[in-house]
Amino acid sequence: MALSVSSAVFASSNAAAATRRNSQVTPGFAPPVGISSRVALVTGLSLASRSVLARRNLVQAAVATEAPTAIPSSAQTAKTIVELVGSGTLSTVDASGIPLGTYVTYVLGADGIPILRLRSSAVHTDNLKANPSCSLFIHAPLQPIRSVARITLIGAVEEISAEEQAEAKEQHAAAMHYAIGVDAPSDDDIFMKLNVSRTFYVGGLGTECKAEEIDVAAYATAEADGLAEFAPELVSYMNGERRMDVLRITGGAVEDATIDDVEDAELLWVDTLGVYIRAVVRNEERVVRANFMHEAIDERDAKSCLTMMAQLAWENERNYQPAPIPTSSDSK
């Protein structure tokens, strides 16, 4: 049974997340999307009984939905990459008109726009003073972020205020405290804002590796995925400590497959809506998308979603049927 859920389920995910944050339900029990009203009717039941009811409704929701898998938008993923990486290749134009690509680091302003750290004596700094047009290619050097996507921000740089300079310098010094040589923060560093006029994006997961140009307004208003900060550690944790769960989730997410058909599986990435898994199923390598039953609101919630996915796959493998929940009439 596939674990993806319909877009209708995700349409109410924000409301469900707000309900979980504000509710007084026992910690660790998060009612899945669409069943909060049912849970409200059984608050007198034990935690175990409520968990069984939640599981039962999750199974029913998964069986009843066949809509396309929901994934973060390209604009949101692009913002996620820009937030996580912090460095890239800056292409400027020299006096001969030939583009020059050089390494650069950056911090983000309050509006999410990259503020480039430029050495005062660097060639690219002189190029930008003569011609502010440039592009910034951002692609994480290491996995797991590297597989997700890469993006090129195209535009022109402009100077920022003295106050913004000071804030950017402080941010950069904290982020690059380990750097040495020309990459180490220096008192004479210059910081300039990159005003983005075009965004060129290549998705690596869930997009058939297509290149596209993202609408500038969509990119400007998009927010990085809520799990961006924790995703690399979650990937490492699941692959290292919970490999059997990754195998089991894969078996549950691939149509007409079970864990016995999965020869290998490795979690590639996790976002607030689900996970990507590189898997070998029946001698065929593929990238599998498995969605959460509700939008994860933080790292703890994501771990809970992953546990639920593995549990549902285990129950489906064994055709597990929870014992009937006793009602007040049963005791009469």
Helix (H), strand (E) at residue 284: strand 284-291
Q: Which of 59-63, 102-106, 145-149, 305-309 has the lowest mean pLDDT?
A: 59-63
Question: What are 219's two structure tokens?
Answer: 């990119």
Is residue 12 included in any domain, yes or no?
Answer: yes
Q: How confident is the model at residue 329 (pLDDT cuts 50, 70, 90)?
A: low
* Residue 61 predicted with pLDDT over 50: no
Burial 280-297 (b: 16+ CB within 10 A, else e): ebeeeeeebbbbbbbbbb
Q: Is the peptide bond before 32 cis (omega within 30 degrees of 0)?
A: no
What is the band of 35 on the pLDDT scale with cuts at 50, 70, 90? very low
Instruction: Identify whether 275 is part of a domain.
Output: yes
Tens-place pLDDT, residues 238-282? 999 999 999 999 998 998 888 899 999 999 999 999 999 999 999
Say yes or no: 101 and 149 in one domain. Answer: yes
* Same-domain check for residues 106 and 238: no
CB 211 within 8 A of CB 273: no
Residue 322 covered by a domain: no
- C-alpha 267: how far from chain center: 13
Residues 44 and 85 in one domain: no
Angle at 64 between CA 62 and CA 67, to 5 degrees: 80
Same domain, 288 and 181: no
**Domain end point (choices 221, 254, 274):** 221
Tokens encoding 300: 């703890």
Q: What is the pLDDT of residues 88-100, one digit of tens each?
A: 999 999 999 999 9
pLDDT surpassing 70 at residue 15: no
Distance of CA 14 to the CA centre of its chain: 16
Same domain, 282 and 158: no
Is residue 208 located within the same domain as residue 88?
yes
CATH code: domain of residue 55: 3.20.180.10
Contact assessment for residue 273 and residue 301, using Cβ atoms and an 8 Å cutoff: no
- pLDDT reading at 7 higher than 50: no
Structural domain boundaries enclosing 61: 7-71+229-317
Domain membership of residue 1 (yes or no) is no
- From start to end of the chain, where are the E strands? 87-93, 99-108, 114-118, 133-138, 149-159, 190-203, 211-214, 262-271, 274-281, 284-291
For residue 249, tell me if it sits in a domain.
Answer: yes
Q: Which residue has the higher pLDDT, 6 or 165?
A: 165
In the predicted model, is pLDDT for residue 27 greater than 80?
A: no
Q: What does the alpha-carbon distance between residue 73 and residue 94 come to, in Å, rounded to a whole number?
A: 36
Residue owning tokens 């190029």: 127
The 8-class DSSP code of residue 141 comes to S
Judgement on whether residues 117 and 177 belong to the same structural domain of the protein: yes
| Same structural domain, 105 and 38 | no
Residue 170 forms part of a structural domain: yes
* Tally of domains within the chain: 2
Do 57 and 191 belong together in one domain?
no
Task: Quickly state the pLDDT bin for 332 (edges 50, 70, 90).
Answer: low
Length of the chain: 332
pLDDT of 69: 54
Whether residue 88 sits in one domain with residue 54: no
**Range with the lowest mean pLDDT among 8-12, 166-170, 244-248, 249-253?**
8-12
Q: Are both 150 and 39 inside the same structural domain?
A: no
* Residue where one domain finishes, among candidates 221, 237, 259: 221
The token pair that represents 142 in the structure block: 């290491």
Is the model's pTM score more than 0.85? no
Q: Which of 5-19, 80-94, 297-311 has the lowest mean pLDDT?
A: 5-19
82 and 50 inside one domain: no
